[in-house]
Amino acid sequence: MSIATPPVDASAVKPAFRSISPARKIRNGIATVLVVVSFLIAMVPLIWVIATVLIRGLAPVLNPNWWLQSLNGLLARQQGGGVYHAIYGTLAQSLVAAVIATPVGIMVAIYLVEYGGRGKATTRLSKATTFMVDILTGVPSIVAALFIYAVWISILGLPRSAFAVSLALVLLMMPVVVRSTEEMLKIVPDDLREASYALGVPKWRTIVKIVIPTALSGMLTGIVLALARIMGETAPVLILVAYAPYINFNLFSGNMASLPLLMTVERSNPTAAGSDRIWGSALTLILIITIFQLIAAALSKLTAPKTK
């Protein structure tokens, strides 16, 4: 029985800690580098785009007339003029869209969270709605525009107008509002609802007076972010309204400019003035979107529920 008996003083197991083999270290190092590099790659287009827009668009934007005049009567190659007509169009079209999309979106979210049931008790309609909101999120903006064209212009026979653009933007904004509102309503603690029910407050008043105020901060942020998102949409304005170089306050008739539309129109203008208008509009659009993002951030701070 002398075979394979280890010496009495040898440790029964190999030492637990061994240094990591070079191959594993190298692989780990490569992975770390690749992961960091991919983040840096993402920063390249972001910084490059913003720098381009700033460098090429700053000069026209700094001229006060840019904000106060339209391009009415100016030739393609003429410098000067401004884009307040397009700023008005962008703001008006997207704000009208927001006014329609927000209540509908909030009601859909309320339905999904408060009435649709949860877990196994989720109703059929609730499941279908969740699915369709997901699908609506993925509907290309050009398809939304074609749908409005088919209904509003082909079938109802109404003219192309800024309001038709707003309707298409509603389709694009609503699912975003639903999603963000839904997330916010979900994190309202059930204790609050139950406390309210226990006091005999009806469900709808509980939602209006307890649930929504609690979630309001996040809801507003989501809505303003959704609004910022639709401002740059170009496909609907291409199809549903014609460009005008002058101001038009009427949403329901006539041509109306908007910043994205102005940029696509000026694309065919090869002069320096055209380039100024394109990049100036791009910078203006980014500025407006940034302002709305800042508003969203401020709203979420201001309306946050007071906690002790």
91, 212, 216, 289: residue in contact with another protein (rule CB under 8 A): 289
Are 256 and 70 in contact by the 8 Å Cβ rule? The answer is no
The DSSP symbol for 151 reads I
Name the residue among 272, 254, 275 with its Cα closest to residue 263: 275
Which residue is it, tokens 């972001």?
46
233, 257, 273, 280: residue in contact with another protein (rule CB under 8 A): 233
Torsion angle of C-alpha atoms 128, 134, 138, 143, degrees rounded to 10: 30
Residue number with CB closer to another protein (90 or 248): 90
58, 128, 294, 298: residue in contact with another protein (rule CB under 8 A): 128
108, 164, 223, 227: residue in contact with another protein (rule CB under 8 A): 108
Q: Exposed/middle/buried for 113, CB within 10 Å: 0-12, 13-18, 19+?
A: buried
159, 186, 187, 202: residue in contact with another protein (rule CB under 8 A): 202
Name the residue among 224, 229, 230, 227 with its Cα closest to residue 297: 224
Site for another protein in 67-86 (CB under 8 A): none
**At closest approach, how far in Å is the CB of 177 from another protein?**
11
Stretch that binds another protein, among 20-28, 65-73, 79-87, 244-252 (CB under 8 A): 20-28
Residue number with CB closer to another protein (120 or 308): 120
54, 104, 210, 216: residue in contact with another protein (rule CB under 8 A): 104
Please tell me the total number of residues recorded for the chain in this structure: 308
Site for another protein in 144-173 (CB under 8 A): 144, 146-147, 149-151, 154-155, 171
Site for another protein in 29-68 (CB under 8 A): 31-32, 34-39, 41-43, 45-46, 48-50, 52-53
